[in-house]
Amino acid sequence: MAPERSGMKTFFIIWAGQLLSMLGSGMTGFAIGIWIFKRTGSATQFAMVALAATLPAVLISPLAGALVDRWDRRTVMIVSDIAAACTTLVLAALLWVDCLQLWHILAMTALGSCFGSFQGPAYQASVTMLVPKEHFGRASGLAQMARALGNILSPLLAGALIMFIGLRGIIIIDFATFLFALGTLLAVRIPSPPVSEDAKKLAGSIWRESFQGWTYIRERSGLLAMLILFAMLNFILGMVSALNVPMMLSFTTEARMGAIISMASVGMLIGSIVMSAWGGSQRRVPGIMVNLFFVGLGVAVVGLRAHGMFVIAGYFLAMFCVPLAGGCAQVIWQNKVPADIQGRVFATRGMVSMAMMPVAYLISGPLADRVFTPMLLEGGRLADSVGRVIGVGPGRGIGFMFVLAGLLVSFTVVIAYLNPRLRNVEDELPDMNPDQSAELDQGVQGATEVIA
C-alpha cells in the first residue's frame, strides 16, 4: 500500500472512532446539563460543571504534552479512552443505585478532563504524521466536521431519548461509543516522528520539557500573538457558553432545545465540509480573522431575542465560521512546529488558550444570577432601555450577556489584526515539517499500515 494512502486510511479509521466517541460524550453532557439545571435551577451550579471540565486540563496540560512527546501517541490515546470510559461507568453505577450527586458529576468530569489533556495533543500530533502536508487543512476540516456532527446529533438524540431511556440509558450509550473508539485505535499503528534539532535542544528532565512548549511559542512572537488572541476570545465566549442551556430553557423545552441546537449546528457541519473540501485560503491569517469577526456577530445575534430562530441564525453563522478559522490556525501550527515536539507545544497552546475559561465559568454564573438577570426582569434597571430591544423576563439578562460578548469578540479581532507579527506570521516563520509521505517512503511504511 502506498504510504500516503496508508497514512490517510489510518487517519480516517481513527477519525471515525473519535466521531462516534464525541457523539456519545455530547449526549451525556447534554443530558447531565438538563439533569443539573432541573434540580437546582441555578446558573452558577450549572457553570461549575463547565469549570470542572476545563480547569484540570489547564493545570495538567504542560506535563501531559511532554509525556505525549516521550510516549507512543497511539498508546496514549488508548489509555486515555479507557480511563474516560471508566469515569462514565462510575456515573452510570451511581445513577443506577440512585446516589448520584452534583459533586460526583464534578469529580468525574474533572477526571475526564485530565485524561482528555493527554488524548487531545496526542491526536493532533498524530495527524501531522499521517496526513500529507498539502492536506493539513482538509484534515483539520474533517476534525471540525466530527465536532459538528456531534453538536448536531448529540442534543437531538439526547433530547429525544432522555424521555424514554433516561440519563442511565444515555450514559450506557456513551460507554459503548468509547469501546468503538478504542477498537479503532487497536486496529491501527501510528509512526513516531523523526527527531528534530529543536527537540534535541529542548531535551531534559520531564519537568523541564513540560515548560519547553511555552519556550518555543514565546520565542516566536507571531505564534504567541495568535495564542493570546485565542485565549482572549475563549475567555469572552466562556462567559456565555456555560449559560447556553439556562438561557434556552427560559423560553423552550428540553426536546425543542435539542432540536434548536442541532439545527444551529448544521452551520458548523457545512463550514467543516467546506474546509475539508477546500483546505482553507492560501493566506491563512486573513482567513482566521475574517471568520472570527463573524463568529462574534453570530454570538451577538443569539442573545437578541428569546426565540429559537434568533438562536438558530446566530449559532449557524458563528458555527459556520468556527471550522474555517480553526482550520486555518491549525495548519499554521502544524507547519511551524516540528512534529516531534508538537505534543508539548500543542498542549501548551491548549493550556494557555483555555487558561482564562475557568475564570469565565466562575464569574459567569454569579454575573447572570445577581447582575444581568435582575436588570432585565420586569421593573429592572435596564428594562426600559435595553429591554425594549431584546425583551425582558427570565433569561433575557443572559441574552444581553451574549450580545455584549459577541460584539466584544468582533472588536478584539479587529484590534489583533493590527499586530504585524500576527499578520505576517506565515511569512516570518519557516515551515518546520517536510511532507511526511516522503519520509514514510524511506522506511516507516510498515508502521502506518492497518493491522489485518
**CATH number of the domain enclosing 214:** 1.20.1250.20
Contact of 267 with 320, CB cutoff 8 Å: yes
| Residue-number span of the structural domain to which 274 is assigned | 3-448
Split into its structural domains, the chain has a count of 1
Nearest to 192 by CA among 57, 360, 71: 71
Contact, 170 vs 33, CB < 8 A?
A: no
HSE-up (13 A, CA, CB side) for residue 176: 7
CA 203 to chain centre: 29
Q: In whole angstroms, what is the distance from residue 158 CA to residue 84 CA?
A: 20
- Distances in Å between the Cα of 359 and the Cα atoms of 14, 207, 209, 442 are 33, 26, 27, 48
Give the pLDDT of the chain (452 residues) as one tens digit per residue.
Answer: 444 555 578 888 888 888 888 888 888 877 877 777 777 666 666 667 777 877 787 778 878 888 888 888 888 889 988 888 888 888 888 878 878 787 888 888 888 888 888 888 888 888 878 887 777 777 877 887 887 777 777 877 887 787 778 777 888 888 888 889 888 888 888 887 776 666 556 566 666 677 778 888 999 999 999 999 999 998 998 888 878 878 888 888 777 777 777 777 788 888 888 888 877 777 889 999 999 999 999 999 999 988 888 988 998 999 899 889 988 998 899 888 888 788 888 888 888 887 777 788 778 888 888 899 999 998 889 999 998 999 998 889 999 999 999 999 999 999 999 999 999 999 899 887 665 544 433 333 333 333 22
d(CA 67, CA 320): 34
